[in-house]
A and B are shown apart, each in its own frame.
Chain A
Amino acid sequence: AQKVTQAQTEISVVEKEDVTLDCVYETRDTTYYLFWYKQPPSGELVFLIRRNSFDEQNEISGRYSWNFQKSTSSFNFTITASQVVDSAVYFCALSEAAPGGNEKLTFGTGTRLTIIP
């Protein structure tokens, strides 16, 4: 069975500091997808990134960057120069791709990030 672990329950940093959110996953499949979502107080899950298991290239999008390492089954998320608007709960998720399309997202427990002005 697949599993996603976000060991950091809550993180608080002062504005403009860099912060890394950790995500470790378990799966038996060779083909899978990893996701990061942001959940602001409004409740909606906002998509941040999708990465497939064959693409270990790190990605940078503005102040956001992601480090995918299959060797350690980790998909960590770094926010550079954090801002108050980054305060939210962040979820890492794993989806296994099946030929029949029977897929679902398995979520981690989330990391509540608070940026202190």
Chain B
Amino acid sequence: KAGVTQTPRYLIKTRGQQVTLSCSPISGHRSVSWYQQTPGQGLQFLFEYFSETQRNKGNFPGRFSGRQFSNSRSEMNVSTLELGDSALYLCASSHGRANYGYTFGSGTRLTVV
């Protein structure tokens, strides 16, 4: 079966712009989680959506937001980009509980200049 698809793979944006990243989970999975990976902070949890509802949120400013559609595809949006937002953004697909595990996509590498 198809894996987790994240688009775009690479993105370059200018400071102050906004960006939208997309994640299509594995068919049948209703949970999508987003993580930010930077050399300085490592892998940090952004938020999780399950059946179109945000269930859990990490410690990130309000500039980071997300949503999930009825087909479980999820988008995350970052407004007013800062240089520090440059990172690899990974999404994880799951049935919704830790005991089912998490499958990650290849990520979107965002560079803010």
Asked whether B101 lies within 8 Å of A44 as measured between CB atoms, the reply is no
Interface residues of B, CB < 8 Å — how many? 26
Asked whether B55 lies within 8 Å of A101 as measured between CB atoms, the reply is yes
Q: In whole angstroms, what is the CA distance A44 to B108 when docked?
A: 10
Question: Dominant SS at the B interface?
Answer: strand
Q: How many A-B residue pairs have CB under 8 A?
A: 66
Smallest beta-carbon distance B68→chain A, Å: 14
Given A104-B48, A107-B42, A43-B101 contact (CB < 8 Å):
no
B58's contact among A35, A52, A104, A109, by CB below 8 Å, is which? A104
What are 26 A-B contacts with C-beta separation under 8 Å? Answer: A33-B98, A43-B106, A43-B107, A44-B105, A45-B90, A45-B104, A46-B104, A47-B104, A91-B43, A93-B43, A97-B98, A100-B55, A101-B31, A101-B55, A102-B48, A102-B56, A103-B56, A103-B97, A104-B56, A104-B58, A105-B35, A105-B43, A105-B45, A105-B92, A106-B45, A108-B42
Residue ranges of B at the interface with A (Cβ–Cβ < 8 Å): 31, 33, 35, 42-43, 45, 48, 50, 55-56, 58, 88, 90, 92, 96-99, 101-107, 109
